[in-house]
């Protein structure tokens, strides 16, 4: 028997499948929300990745990290919504968002977003 005909002939089974699918979608959404910002903030991640690329390029060309984003040609990081801070001679952080729960930080020492 085909799956469609089984569901048509058993309404309780159809309801159970519908509830199961809703549960799966809810769990998938909850997991995706914990993986933030990758899921919800593509535009911010794209802008931040451009800043990271510019900082890395500057480091390769000059043998050191820039003091500020103006060294890589970005004059107004507030308008961009992406911020940079040199932590040491070889590490830096880049972040976007300024509200707890609505921000993410890239750490160059781990090369990961947090």
pLDDT mean for each 10 residues of the chain (114 residues): 69 77 81 59 86 96 95 86 93 84 85 87
- pTM value? 0.64
The pLDDT value recorded for residue 80 is 84
Instruction: Give the domain ranges of the chain.
Output: 3-34, 42-113
Distances (CA, A) of 20 to 49, 80, 97, 99: 38, 43, 36, 35
Q: Please state, in angstroms and rounded to a whole number, the distance separating the CA atoms of residues 7 and 108.
A: 53
8, 11, 42, 101 from 48: Cα distances, Å = 50, 50, 10, 17
Place of tokens 């970005």: 74
């Amino acid at each position: 028997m085909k799956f469609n005909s089984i569901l048509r002939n058993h309404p309780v089974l159809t309801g159970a499948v519908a509830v199961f699918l809703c549960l799966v979608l809810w769990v998938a959404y909850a997991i995706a929300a914990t993986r933030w910002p990758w899921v919800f903030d593509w535009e911010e991640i794209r802008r931040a990745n451009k800043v990271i690329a510019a900082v890395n390029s500057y480091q390769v060309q000059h043998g050191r990290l820039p003091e500020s984003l103006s060294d890589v040609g970005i004059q107004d990081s507030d308008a961009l919504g992406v911020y940079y801070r040199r932590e040491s001679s070889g590490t830096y952080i880049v972040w976007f968002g300024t509200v707890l729960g609505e921000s993410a930080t890239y750490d160059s020492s781990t090369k990961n977003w947090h």
